[in-house]
Structures are given as C-alpha cells and as structure tokens.
Chain A
Amino acid sequence: MSMCKSDVVGPLTCTSVGSVSDVPNNETTPSIDAQSPDGDHEAFARLRMKGPRFDDTQLPIDAMVELQRYQRLILKGAELEWLKANPDQDLPADFAAGSKLVLKELEPGSTISVLDLAAASQYDAYYEAGREEFEREFEKIEQWLASDTAQRAGFDLLTLPLLDEPEFAELGSSAQPGDEFTIASPTTPAPIAVTQEIRTEAIAPLAEQRALLITPPTVVIAPRSVPGEVAGKLFLVNTETLSFEMRSLRYGKIHGRYRNSDLTADLRKVLDSKDKAPVVRVTGELRYRNDVLKEVLNVTAVQLLATDGEPWSARFAALATLDDAWDPENPNSRAVQFAALDAARAILGECAAANRALPGIFPMEDGGVQLEWASPEYVTSIEISPDLEFELFDLEVASQSVVEEQTTDLSNAKAFVARTAR
C-alpha cells in the first residue's frame, strides 16, 4: 500500500508524513522483507519503526534522523568499497550525489519507511556494496555480543571500519522505551534489529575500543586529570571499595571513585539499571586517556536531574547529558547546569496556566538554558544563566518593538510567560 509517494528523506517531509494516517487497522504487522507487500518492487531498504508513536503509519519528526543516519552509513560504506576498488585514486566529486535515498512510501506495520536510491547512478553497485558492508559489520557485532569472553578476545576490530562513523553509535538512539527499530534489505536474510542492548552493550564499547586501537602509538598521550563534571546514569555502586560505574552518553562506560563514605547514600538513591537510572551529574577529577574520559576520581558531589514525566522531560535529559564542548565547532560550549534546568522547569510549569504552548528549549554556550517562543510575528525568550540570572526578551517583529528585562527573581521570569502570551 503506497502511503506517501516520492517524499524525500529529510526534515521537509515532516508535515506530509505526519498527515498520513489512512491505515484502517494498524494491528496489521507485515514482515519487512525488502520486497513490497505486493511483491512487485525490491526496495533498497525498509526501515521499520514499531511502537505507540508509530501507530497509524505516522513517522514522528524526531525519528526521521534515523533515516539520515542510515543514509550516511551507506554512503560511508560505499566510499570504502570504491576506495578499495580504486586504490590510490581520489573519490569522484559526484560520488555522494547519487547516494541520496528517498522515502518512497510508508507502509502499515508501524511504520515501515521504504527507501530507494533517488536516481540511477554509475555508482549504484558501490552503494549496494556499502549497504552490504553495513550489514556485514552489524552481523559481526551481533556475533560479538553473543560470544563469551574467550571468543571476544580474538575479535578483529580492524574489520569494522564503519564503527568510526558517529552515526553507527547513534543509530537507533531516537528510540523511546517500547520502540522497535529494524532494517531489512534484499541482502539481509533476516531484518537487522537495532536494539538498546546492542547499542549500549556492543556498538558503543566496540567503537570506543576501535578508536583506541587505530590511534597511532605516536600520539598516545599520558593520562591527564582535570576537575570537572560528567553526566550519565549510575548502574553499579560498590560500597566496600567506594567505587561506582556509570554510563555517559558521550564516553560510554566510566569508572568512578569517591573517598567520603557519606556519598554512598546519595549514590544509592540514583542507582538503577542502565536504561532506568535517572540522569545525574558527578563532580570530581576527570581522568582522560587519549582524550577519552575513563575515570572520575575523588568524587565530591552527585546531582540528580529531576525528571517528572512532563512533556519536556526527554528534552531535559538530552540537554543534561551534554558535556563541556558539546558543540564540536565551539570548544567554549559548556555543559548545561542542572540549576538552570531546574529553573527552566519552574518556568515551563507556568505555560499551562497561561494557556501557552511550550517554548523551544535550547542549551546556551555558557551552560544556561534558553526558552523561546518564535513565530514570524513575535519572538519571546527567557534566557537562564548558569548562576540563575534571567534575561527576558519580547519582540514584535513588524514594529521592532522590544521589551527587555533582567532579573534574578524567578517569580518575575515565571510571570513573563503570562505577560507575553498572545
């Protein structure tokens, strides 16, 4: 069943995708062979996203990034194949142009995105080889996950070059609890399941190990320690050795140690499984090896990011896990401070009373938080600094009329929500 003909993969497809919902019965769950249900078309790939969010064959905007990640991995795989076949030559300038995947249709089955190459290209064979390379590497990673310690010792990470691409570790990261994400193509005997387990237990650590492995020995630098903070989820505390294990979104597994046993109670409060644990920020001495954070020593504080099941909670968790230098183009970008997020939460709570839509929630370079309501007619923002100063701004675009205030009083910032509601 064709649901959304010729929509191009990308953010512009969001409105049309969101409106597609003429599937009478989303209980239908067809298999996701690369073959279409009516058997007349062999797609390049079919990405199936299943879960409550995908009912009625809708593709949420924040899930579309998975299609981009997949496309990026296929292109990188294709480039590797081309370079292998054409040693000592530069990649053709137009190589990437033909690899654009298009979203041909959405099929019922909550939700299957059918991807094809946008147009025939002289490089099509390489794009298909790139897809097979991705599938080969994913299968190897699945085998690694299923193997025991002895078998893992002989695992050859050098055969997994696509792990160098950040999109590999990020693939499937937009999934929410209960979502399922699988990929099928004409060359997969069975659909690939991109699960939370394989992402956190296999892909992330293997990518980290490979990065260390391929770093030339000449640039290996001595461990360095700096005071700082790191955000993540605590999943193990050893009260005898005063140590813990946590998982950072950016660095993967991190070992922690503390000296003051009074911290044990605080750590236990925020301890849970890797999936369920709340986001915390740990303050201590950050110990890096080859610029990868490995340990946090002499921990002095653990802060909990309160999450409350509100519409903004997922966004808060995402901002809370941004470490220093979260913008790779800007080394001055600082980790978002939990105090600023706590103040933002208090302000967001005013929106319902003011009958106002929620604003955009953005990190600021200095570790603060920006709340912003924007339209072609008005732009209103509340900027919360790390030390809890509030900058209130309201612009009527046509007249360039501006209201701008600074305050350290949270109640003034909360009142600004209603004052500027229109």
Chain B
Amino acid sequence: MSPLLAAEAGEFVITDVDELVYRQITEPLMEAETWTPSSIAFAPNSFDQKKPSFARQTLTTPQDARDWHNENAKKPSLGVWACSIGEVIDAKSQTIDDSGVTRAANAVVAPGHCYVDYRELTKSETRLLRSTLLAKALARKELTTV
C-alpha cells in the first residue's frame, strides 16, 4: 500500500474510529432494482483531486447532509450511505477534516465536510478501497433520510 500523505494546512486526520462519515449517492451510480450503489460512488472522479467528499457524523446528520447536498449540488442525492473512520483506517487510508482550509470567499462547503484520502493510491489500491467502503456501507444499510 502506498504511504499516506500528511494532512495539509487547515486539515487534520479524524481519529475517532467509531465516527461515521456520510456519502451521498446520485444517479446514475445506483442500481435501481436492488438499490445498490456502485463502488465508483465511494471514490473520487477525476475532478475531485482524489478527495471525494463525505460529511462527519459528529457535525451533521444524514438528513441535513442530504438536504444540503440537494440544495447545493447539481444532481440530487438518492440516499445516504456511511462507513466508519475505523473502516477507512482498516482499508489502509485516512479521513481528513478540511474545515480549516482557507478557501475563496464565495466557496460553498458542506457542513461537516471531510474527505477520504485517495491521493497516493494506485489504480488497484483505489479499486480496493472504494470496494471495501461499499461493502461496509452495504453492511450498515442505507441511512434513514427522506
């Protein structure tokens, strides 16, 4: 596994292994018949700088996170899934709270925003991490939101 990068200025690594982080699932990365997301939904796209967005359980609720997403993102959320900080660590990565990062004045950031760190991962490691997070999220089942 590739070594992890240190948190950058304004960031810190979340260490409470029991805390959950929420991920919004959008079309078309959801299988409607079985209501199962794709593992791709737990990974960054090429525009995410290898920092896919999650939201912290201690700073927001699944419902508030979904509502915020629906009011600010370009695609509505179909539902909220979660994995724990410990599960990310067990999968050889880390979750980083970037709330202290200096941003543009007009930047819009979700409450409790954090990211799972894919920065140094190879393609194979990325696939393993996102698949593991999907499996953990499926074990936990979709979180209740409307």
Using Cβ atoms and an 8 Å threshold, which residues of chain B touch A37? Answer: none
Q: Is the CB of B74 within 8 A of A381?
A: no
Q: Is the CB of A370 within 8 A of B38?
A: yes
A374 at the A/B interface (Cβ < 8 Å)? yes
Q: Is the CB of B47 within 8 A of A329?
A: yes
Q: Is the CB of B28 within 8 A of A372?
A: no
Complex CA gap A361/B47 in Å reads 22
Q: Is the CB of A61 within 8 A of B46?
A: no
Give the residue name and chain of the A residue nearest to B91 (CB): A400
Complex CA gap A391/B135 in Å reads 19
Q: Is the CB of B139 within 8 A of A376?
A: yes
Q: Is the CB of A330 within 8 A of B45?
A: yes
Q: Is the CB of A329 within 8 A of B46?
A: no
> Which residue of A9, A12, A68, A375 contacts B138 across the interface (Cβ within 8 Å)?
A375
Using Cβ atoms and an 8 Å threshold, which residues of chain B touch A365? Answer: 40, 45-46
Q: Is the CB of B135 within 8 A of A376?
A: yes
Q: How far is the CB of A421 from chain B (nearest CB, A)?
A: 17
Q: Is the CB of A379 within 8 A of B28?
A: no
Which of B7-15, B75-83, B111-119 binds A?
Answer: B75-83
Known A364-B40, A379-B135; judge A10-B28 contact (CB<8 A).
no
Interface string of A354-390 (1 = CB under 8 A from B): 0000001111110000101011111101000000000
A393 at the A/B interface (Cβ < 8 Å)? yes
Q: Is the CB of B28 within 8 A of A326?
A: yes
Q: Is the CB of B138 within 8 A of A376?
A: yes
B31 at the A/B interface (Cβ < 8 Å)? yes
> Which residue of A10, A360, A376 contacts B146 across the interface (Cβ within 8 Å)?
A10
Q: Is the CB of B138 within 8 A of A374?
A: yes
Interface residues of A in 1-24 (CB under 8 A from B): 8-12, 14
> Which residue of A8, A11, A328, A333 contacts B142 across the interface (Cβ within 8 Å)?
A11
A96 at the A/B interface (Cβ < 8 Å)? yes
Complex CA gap A96/B70 in Å reads 11
Q: Is the CB of B134 within 8 A of A330?
A: no
Q: How far is the CB of B38 from chain A (nearest CB, A)?
A: 4
Q: Which of A327, A360, A370 has the most CB of B within 10 A?
A: A360
Interface residues of B in 128-143 (CB under 8 A from A): 128, 131-132, 134-136, 138-139, 142
A59 at the A/B interface (Cβ < 8 Å)? no
Q: How far is the CB of B33 from chain A (nearest CB, A)?
A: 7
A62 at the A/B interface (Cβ < 8 Å)? yes
Complex CA gap A379/B45 in Å reads 20
A39 at the A/B interface (Cβ < 8 Å)? no
Known A12-B142, A362-B29; judge A331-B76 contact (CB<8 A).
no
What 7 A-B pairs come out closest when comparing CB atoms? Answer: A376-B139, A360-B31, A328-B74, A379-B131, A62-B32, A10-B146, A362-B38
- In the assembled complex, 17 residue pairs joining A and B whose CB atoms fall closer than 8 Å, in A order, are A11-B35, A11-B78, A11-B79, A11-B142, A12-B144, A12-B145, A326-B28, A333-B45, A360-B34, A362-B40, A364-B40, A374-B134, A374-B138, A376-B138, A381-B39, A395-B131, A404-B124
**Which residues on B are within 8 Å of A, measured CB to CB?**
28-29, 31-36, 38-40, 45-47, 67, 71, 73-76, 78-79, 124, 127-128, 131-132, 134-136, 138-139, 142, 144-146
Q: A8-B146, A329-B73, A331-B47 are in contact. List 16 more A-B contacts (CB 8 A).
A: A10-B146, A12-B145, A62-B33, A72-B76, A96-B67, A96-B71, A102-B146, A327-B45, A329-B74, A329-B75, A362-B38, A365-B45, A370-B38, A375-B138, A376-B139, A381-B127
